[in-house]
């Protein structure tokens, strides 16, 4: 479980980049050694690059596809150049620099998505929760995180979430949010992702949901989904729509860390009382309650 969440929360992406960088640096250094040692180094390079690329792909980090493509082409071109001594040295230097710059750019592109957002305080806005069973609970009498969030504060927290909700069915919850100033926290999409909702349908449903909730006097916060391998498109959809509708996105590492903690869940997915308290504390910091 912990290994799966290591990939789902995006940490594996940075490990993969580190493996690729070490492999590329070893590749550059291998030319200085005698043939026997160079052969051993090249074998190590291949293993590092293979593990690095595989780790990056399995992390399902929603970096744009064009970036992945250019990064791969540049790195492969450098590998080919290293095995073709007749090619110009200047070409090799350019490819080496390009490959390393792509690695650094890959890190720089993802780091902002690891940072926690924080809303500016704007009076006593009511807080509405749109979500699935992670917010609604299992119906076993547990104290859900929306209840914890609303305890002891002068702000009313209204939990509209429903077990089994998807981005499409959450429209029924959205209809119950009255006009006027509000903070709306959206925890949705897990059932779409695990239930096999096609990515294009998820995009349409999430767009409709955000359009219905957005308003000049409303501020939206959304939990980013931890992603299983090769589910990049769902992440790109979420990030793209969050940017389009000015939604503060809580990094996917938050849900992943709670689900992966020793006492965070009841069954490996649904939150325990400890898990609900952790999520409530995170949301409290984000919305400045």
Q: Is residue 44 over pLDDT 70?
A: yes
Of the pLDDT bands very low, low, confident and very high (cuts 50, 70, 90), residue 270 is confident
Higher pLDDT, 93 or 189: 189
Residues 133 and 110 both lie in one domain: no
Residues 166 and 37 both lie in one domain: no
Instruction: List all residues 6 or more positions away from 200 whose beta carbon is below 8 Å from its beta carbon.
Output: none
Distances (CA, A) of 39 to 49, 121, 130, 186: 15, 61, 57, 54
d(CA 52, CA 59): 11
Q: Is residue 135 over pLDDT 90?
A: yes
Least confident of 42-51, 142-151, 168-177, 273-282: 42-51
User: HSE on the CB side for 222, CA within 13 Å?
Assistant: 27
Of the pLDDT bands very low, low, confident and very high (cuts 50, 70, 90), residue 2 is confident
Residues 143 and 106 both lie in one domain: no
**Domain ends where: 59, 89, 114?**
114
d(CA 151, CA 276): 13
Distance of CA 247 to the CA centre of its chain: 15
150 C-beta neighbours (distance < 10 Å), count? 18
Most confident of 14-23, 26-35, 72-81: 14-23
Average pLDDT over residues 254-282: 88
Residues 79 and 99 both lie in one domain: yes
Residues 81 and 151 both lie in one domain: no
Q: What share of the chain is helix, strand, coil (3-state, %, to 5)?
A: 60, 10, 35
Q: Which among 87, 80, 20, 91 has a CA at the least distance from the CA of 49?
A: 20
Q: Is residue 30 over pLDDT 80?
A: no
**Domain ends where: 88, 114, 140?**
114
Judge whether 120 lies within some domain. no
Q: Is residue 85 over pLDDT 70?
A: no
Distances (CA, A) of 230 to 36, 74, 116, 268: 38, 22, 25, 21
Estimate the crossing angle of helix 11-30 against helix 35-58, to 10 degrees: 160
Higher pLDDT, 83 or 161: 161
Instruction: List all residues 6 or more positions away from 24 whose beta carbon is below 8 Å from its beta carbon.
Output: 45, 49, 75, 78, 96, 99, 100, 103
Higher pLDDT, 232 or 93: 232
**Domain ends where: 92, 114, 136?**
114
Domain extent at residue 94: 2-114
Residues 213 and 138 both lie in one domain: yes
Q: Is residue 19 over pLDDT 80?
A: yes
As given in the structure block, the two tokens for residue 6 are: 């290591």
Q: Which among 61, 66, 191, 186 has a CA at the least distance from the CA of 131?
A: 186
Collapse the DSSP code of 126 into the 3-class scheme (helix H, G, I; strand E, B; otherwise coil) and give the result: strand
Collapse the DSSP code of 151 into the 3-class scheme (helix H, G, I; strand E, B; otherwise coil) and give the result: coil
pLDDT at position 124, please? 76
Rounded to whole angstroms, the maximal C-alpha distance in the chain is 74
Instruction: List all residues 6 or more positions away from 80 whose beta carbon is below 8 Å from its beta carbon.
Output: none
The CATH number linked to 281 is 3.40.50.1110
Q: Which among 59, 70, 76 has a CA at the least distance from the CA of 16?
A: 59
pLDDT in tens, 89-133: 777 778 888 888 999 999 999 999 999 999 988 877 899 999 999
As given in the structure block, the two tokens for residue 18 are: 């580190």
Mean predicted lDDT score pLDDT of the chain? 90
d(CA 66, CA 56): 15
Dump strand ranges (E) for 34-164.
Answer: 126-131, 157-159
As given in the structure block, the two tokens for residue 21 are: 């960088």
């Amino acid at each position: 479980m912990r290994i799966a969440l290591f990939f789902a929360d995006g940490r594996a992406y940075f490990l993969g980049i580190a493996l690729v960088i070490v492999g590329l640096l070893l590749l550059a250094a291998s030319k200085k050694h005698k043939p026997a040692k160079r052969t051993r180094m090249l074998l190590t390079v291949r293993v590092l690059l293979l593990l690095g690329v595989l780790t990056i792909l399995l992390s399902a980090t929603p970096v744009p596809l064009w970036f992945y493509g250019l990064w791969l082409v540049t790195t492969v071109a450098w590998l080919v150049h290293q095995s073709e001594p007749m090619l110009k040295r200047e070409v090799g230097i350019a490819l080496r620099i390009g490959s390393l710059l792509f690695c650094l750019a890959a890190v720089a592109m993802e780091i902002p998505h690891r940072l926690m957002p924080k809303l500016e305080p704007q009076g006593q806005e009511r807080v509405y929760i749109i979500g699935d069973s992670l917010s609604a609970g299992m119906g076993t009498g547990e104290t859900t995180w929306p209840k914890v969030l609303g305890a002891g504060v002068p702000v009313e927290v209204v939990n509209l979430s429903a077990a089994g909700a998807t981005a499409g069915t959450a429209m029924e919850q959205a209809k119950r949010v009255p006009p006027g100033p509000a903070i709306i926290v959206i925890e949705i999409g897990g059932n779409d992702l695990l239930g096999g909702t096609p990515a294009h349908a998820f995009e349409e449903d999430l767009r409709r949901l955000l359009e219905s909730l957005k308003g000049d006097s409303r501020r939206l916060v959304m939990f980013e989904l931890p992603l299983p391998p090769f589910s990049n498109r769902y992440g790109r959809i979420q990030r793209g729509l969050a940017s389009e509708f000015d939604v503060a996105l809580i990094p996917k590492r938050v849900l992943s860390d709670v689900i992966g903690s020793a006492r965070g869940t009841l069954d490996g997915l649904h939150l325990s009382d400890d898990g609900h308290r952790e999520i409530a504390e995170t949301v409290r910091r984000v919305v400045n309650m």
